[in-house]
Amino acid sequence: MPKDSFASLKDQVAIVTGSTSGIGHAMAEALAERGVRVVLNGLGDPAAIEKTRADLEAATGSAVRYHGADMTKPAEIADMIGFAQREFGRLDILINNAGVQHVEAIENFPEAKWDWIIAINLTATFHATKAAIPLMKANGHGRIINVASAHGLVASPFKSAYVAAKHGVVGFTKTAGLELAQAGITCNAICPGYVKTPLVEGQIADQARTRNMTPEQVVKDVMLAAQPTKQFVTFDQLCGLMLYLVSDAGASCTGAAYPVDGGWTAE
C-alpha cells in the first residue's frame, strides 16, 4: 500500500450516520484521527452526545459537528447532508451505518417493526446517497460506504426484516457503484459478522427469549457458532477496511460487498 495513502484524507469531510454509538462511533473516530472533519449523527441523550462530540474533537484535533437527523425522515436526512456542505463546504465520505434490529418469527413480526427496520437500514441509505451524490460530483471525488452485514449475504431465522434490508443494501451498493463508476465516486458495502456493540447486547437478550436459551448459550451456540474464528469482529478490523476503501488506494474497489465475518459466509 502506498506509504501516504491516508495522507490525502486530511481535511476531507465525512458524515457517519448512527455514530453516537458502536461501529459508527468507531469509524468516526478512525476518520477524525486521520484529520477528516466529521459530522456525527444518531440518537441519544443530548448532553451525552455533546460530550461525545467535544471529546472526539479534543482527542483528535479534527473539527467534529453533530446533526440529529432521524433516519426514518427523508427531509431530515437531506438536511444533514446539506449541513456538511454548510459547515465545511464539501462532502467527501458518506458512511451509511445507522441500523436497528428486531428478532421475531415472521408470523408474529409486527408490521411497524418491519417498516422501521426497512426505513433505517435500507431506505435511509438511498436518501442519504441521493442527497450526497451532487456534492461529491461537484468535487469529482467521493467515497460511500454502506455498513451492511453478513446478513446482507446470508440469512438467519427470526431476522426477516433485517436480512431483507441488508440484502437490499448490498444490491443498492452494486447499482450505485455502476452508476458512479466514472464520476470518481466509489460505493462499497462492509459486511460485518458479530461485533459486540449495544445492538448485539440487545440481541443476546432477545434471542435468549425467542429461542428459550440462556444468554451464555446464545453467545456460544448461536452467535459465535456461525463464526468459524469463534471470535467477535473488532472495531479496529472494520475500521481498517473502511480506511482502505476511503483512501486513494481504494479507488478501483466499487460496487462490492466485503465480508469481515471470521469466515461465516464462506460456509
Note the residue count of the chain. Answer: 267
Provide the minimum distance between the beta carbon of 61 and ligand NAD in the complex, in angstroms, as a whole number: 23
The site for ligand NAD (CB under 6 A) is made up of 18-24, 41-44, 70-72, 97-100, 120-121, 147, 149, 192, 194-195, 197-200
Give CA–CA dist 160/27, Å, rounded.
27
Residues ≥6 apart with Cβ < 8 Å to 56: 28, 29, 32, 38, 40, 62, 64
Which CB sits closer to ligand NAD, 42 or 74? 42
Instruction: Select 200 or 249, whichever has its Cβ closest to ligand NAD.
Output: 200
Q: What are the catalytic residues?
A: 162
When the beta carbons of 43 and 256 are compared against ligand NAD, the nearer one is 43
Contact status, residue 242 vs residue 143, Cβ threshold 8 Å: no
Q: Where are the alpha helices (DSSP H) in the chain?
A: 22-33, 46-60, 74-88, 111-118, 124-139, 160-180, 198-211, 215-217, 235-246
Supply the minimum distance, in Å, between the C-beta of residue 112 and ligand NAD: 13
- Closer to ligand NAD by CB, 141 or 226: give it: 226
Minimum CB distance to ligand NAD, residue 235 (Å)? 9
Give the whole-angstrom CA distance, residue 96 versus residue 16. Answer: 6
Taking the complex as a whole, the smallest distance from the CB of residue 183 to ligand NAD amounts, in Å, to: 25
Give dist(CA 42, CA 16) in Å, integer: 9
DSSP conformation class of 234: P
CA angle 259, 21, 115 (to 5 degrees): 75
Q: Rounded to the nearest whole angstrom, what is the least distance from the CB of residue 179 to ligand NAD in the complex?
A: 22
Pick between residue 140 and residue 198 the one whose CB is nearest to ligand NAD: 198
The C-alpha atoms of residue 6 and residue 19 are separated, in whole angstroms, by: 21
